[in-house]
Every structure is written in C-alpha cells, then in structure tokens.
Structure 1
Amino acid sequence: MPPHFLDRVTPRAYPGTRLLTAALAWSATGVFLSVKSVYLFREGSRGIVLAAVLVGLILGMVKGRFILDRIADRIILHIGAKPTRSCLGGLFSVRNWMLIAVMIIFGRTLSVLPIEAGIKTGLYVMVGSGLAYSSRLLWRAWKNSAAKTP
C-alpha cells in the first residue's frame, strides 16, 4: 500500500531536535513577553510599573516552579515516548497545543483591553519569566539527549 500523503510530507525529527524546538519555543516566548512588557513600561506610571515588574518576576518564578515545571516534565516524557523519528509538530500533546491557543487568545485580548499598564506589564512579566525559568528543564533534557547521541 502506498504511503499516505501526510506521511510523506510530515516533517520528521529526532527526539533531540524536538526537545531543542520545545526549549527554543518556551525561551523565545518567555523573552518576547518580557520584552513586550518593556514597551508597556513606557505607558504607565514608573513606580507602579516597576512594582508590577518585580511582583511579576516573583510570581512568574513561583508559577514556573510549581506549575510550568510539571508541564515541562510532561512534555519531556511525551517527546521521549515517541518513536525515534516522529512528527516535529508532535513535540507538544494536543492538550498543550490547545493551551497554547488559549494563551494566544488571552494575550491578544489582554493587549486590547483598557487595563492599567502596570497590570498588563505584571501579567506579561509573570508569564514570560515563568516560561523562561521553566525552559531550563527542556534545555537540560536536550543537553542530556545530545550527550547520549554518538
């Protein structure tokens, strides 16, 4: 039986590549959201926005440690459970892709709402710093997978 069309056009990647892609995605998103908060910083009162950044960093680290670290661990297990070469888009589970879509919609909605710049800044910093912090687990898993590759 000839291979299905999707089987032929699906980009396949090794686990190390999928781990690297996940680590890059989490790190880049975390940095992007944190940098975006700098632009919001210009719109609000300096004292309030600075406090929002500090609170956002603290809450982001806590969120990263207690929530996002568990998600990163599940992503690592998910990638490790796949065949050696599988779909690059399969680095996240369907549930994770749905969560990503919800977070994108939430972020877009937040950006257009008439909310104080300090609150927006704090939320962006919280999510961004949490993702960047928890990406360390993905980077570590990628490093370990690269060390195992001959």
Structure 2
Amino acid sequence: MSWLARLKPGASTNTNLLVAALMWSFIGFYLMVRGYLLDQPLPGMLLLLALGLGTMKAFWLIERAARKNIARIVARPDGMCLGGVYSWGMWGMVVCMMVGGRLLRNSAVPPLVVGVIYVAVGWALLLSSRLIWREWNATKSLR
C-alpha cells in the first residue's frame, strides 16, 4: 500500500452520505441565516418570496444534483475517499458558487435582493438535503 493510499481519508458509503447530507444542510442553513440578516432582517413578503423561489429551485434544479450525488456515492465501493463525496465537476460548482456569492455581496446589487437570493439558494439546498438524509437513513438501516 502506497503512503498516499494510507493518508486517504477513506470512509464507508454510509459516512459519505452523512457528510454530503451535513454539508448540504449546514451550507443551506448558513446561507439562509446570512441572507436573512445580511443588511437588515428580510421583511415577511421578501422572506416568503425567497422561500417560494428556493422551493422552485429545489424541485426543478437542485434535487436533480442531489439524486446524481446520491447515485454516485452509492455506486462507489466502501472505503472511498471522503473528498470524493462530490465529483470534480460538483467541487468546481461549489467553488463557483462561493466566488459568485462573494461577488454578489460586494456588488452594487441592493442588500435586500442579495438577501432574497441567499435565502432562496440556502432553502433550496436545505430542502433538497432531505433526499440525501433519506438515503443515509435507508443505508444506515441496512447495516
């Protein structure tokens, strides 16, 4: 066994699913809180708008990515690297979203609009994470 293979943080399929679910949930929750409190708390109507947009984004876009991520994790054998919980493309998307969020926050876009976007994206991630949690729970029950 090579020294690199010994350093690899390998984990079971169940652990990879848990890490993916935790990441989606925590990042979603963080974005929601950050967006809600960005400049001032979002007024009720804007919060409802953000949750509605986030729900649509979850059902039309994010859940597809969640299902692909679940299928990818489940198809991999046990002991695979935790960093491989996402594909290279998904990691690239994460970086792009982080950079995009930073640019948006530092742009001339009004803070209330940025807050709505943050809450919508956060809610979409949090809502879609239920699919990964469900698969983790099913996989956990099989052990």
What's the TM-score, normalizing by structure 1?
0.90
Confirm whether residue 73 of structure 1 aligns to residue 67 of structure 2.
yes
Q: CA offsets, 1:22-53, max 9 Å, x none?
A: 0000000010000001222517xx6xx44332
1:133 corresponds to: 127
Q: What's the secondary structure of 1:83's corresponding residue?
A: coil
Aligned with residue 2 of structure 2, among 1, 4, 24: 4
Matches within 5 A, 1:81-100: 81-100=75-94
Q: Which runs of 4+ in 1 moved over 4 A?
A: none
Contact 2:28 2:121 in 1 (8 A): yes
In the TM superposition, residue 18 of structure 1 has moved relative to its aligned partner by 0.4
- Rounded Cα–Cα distance in structure 1 between residues aligned with 2:53 and 2:37: 20
Confirm whether residue 63 of structure 1 aligns to residue 78 of structure 2.
no
Contact 2:36 2:116 in 1 (8 A): no
In the TM superposition, residue 117 of structure 1 has moved relative to its aligned partner by 1.6
| Percent of aligned pairs with the same amino acid | 34
Confirm whether residue 115 of structure 1 aligns to residue 109 of structure 2.
yes
- Rounded Cα–Cα distance in structure 2 between residues aligned with 1:121 and 1:90: 31
- Rounded Cα–Cα distance in structure 2 between residues aligned with 1:21 and 1:7: 20
Aligned with residue 15 of structure 2, among 5, 14, 17: 17
Q: What's the secondary structure of 1:40's corresponding residue?
A: coil
Q: CA offsets, 1:67-114, max 9 Å, x none?
A: 111100000110011111110111111111010010010011111112
- Rounded Cα–Cα distance in structure 2 between residues aligned with 1:116 and 1:88: 38
**How many equivalent residue pairs?**
143
The gaps in structure 1 that reach 5 residues or longer are none
- Rounded Cα–Cα distance in structure 2 between residues aligned with 1:66 and 1:42: 29
- Rounded Cα–Cα distance in structure 2 between residues aligned with 1:83 and 1:95: 20
Q: What's the secondary structure of 2:38's corresponding residue?
A: helix
Which region of structure 1 is more displaced relative to structure 2, 129-138 or 104-113? 104-113
RMSD, aligned CA: 1.4
2:141 corresponds to: 147
- Rounded Cα–Cα distance in structure 2 between residues aligned with 1:111 and 1:41: 10
- Rounded Cα–Cα distance in structure 1 between residues aligned with 2:114 and 2:123: 14
Larger Cα-atom Rg:
1
Residue type of the partner of 2:8? T
